[in-house]
Amino acid sequence: MPRAALDPLVVGKVIGDVLDMFVPAAELAVHYGGEEIGNGSEVKPSSAAQRPKVQIKGAISPSYYTLVMVDPDAPSPGEPTLREWLHWLVIDIPEGSDATEGKEIMEYMGPKPPAGVHRYVFAVFQQHGLMETVKRKPVERQLFDTRQFARENDLGLPAAALYFKSHK
């Protein structure tokens, strides 16, 4: 994946607010319904109410991945006092398969932005083998910290990331 794929993440302030700069090492595809979303796409909350189909293709096989989905703009972009709000957490996703093949730690919650335009970030981390559980328990939805979670679980920098925007 070319480094230019990071540009929308920088412009959308995903790099900085949620993630550190990284070199993409996997491909991430997210589909709501039959539609693939791209970085910065606008998605209606009703279109994203159901869990998406998420596929991760890495260069190293076999490999396992962790998927984190957060809203860094909760409860509002002007005052993100609940940053980051965890919408979904799945570990042990086999390379090349859908996220539903992994172990769901936090059940999927679709976007419900109360005010303003919110960003919803999917970050994928390559694991060093099966995790089976996470080191930080309990995992809470509010005030989740993707960077801290990655550090605590020895995940390092993301292998891929994607975000979309949604508003009421």
Residue range 116-122: average pLDDT? 97
Confidence of residue 45 (pLDDT cuts 50, 70, 90): very high
User: If you average pLDDT over residues 5-21, what whole number do you get?
Assistant: 91
pLDDT above 80 for 26: yes
Mean per-residue pLDDT for 10-23?
95
Which domain covers residue 46, as residue numbers?
Answer: 3-167
**How deeply is 163 buried, as exposed, middle or buried, from its count of CB atoms within 10 A (0-12, 13-18, 19+)?**
buried
**58: nearest Cα among 22, 90, 24:** 24
Whole-number pLDDT of residue 83: 94
Provide the token pair at 80: 């993100």
160-167 and 41-42 strand pairing = parallel
CATH code where residue 132 lies: 3.90.280.10
Instruction: Name the strand (E) or helix (H) holding 64.
Output: strand 64-71
Average pLDDT over residues 8-15: 95
Closest CA to 111 of 92, 78, 88: 88
DSSP string, 94-155: ETTSBGGGSEEEE-------SSSEEEEEEEEEE-SS--SS-SS-S--STT--HHHHHHHTT-
Band of residue 159 on the pLDDT scale cut at 50, 70, 90: very high
The confidence band for 133, taking pLDDT boundaries of 50, 70 and 90, is confident
Domain count, the chain: 1
The pLDDT score that the predictor gives to residue 99 is: 95
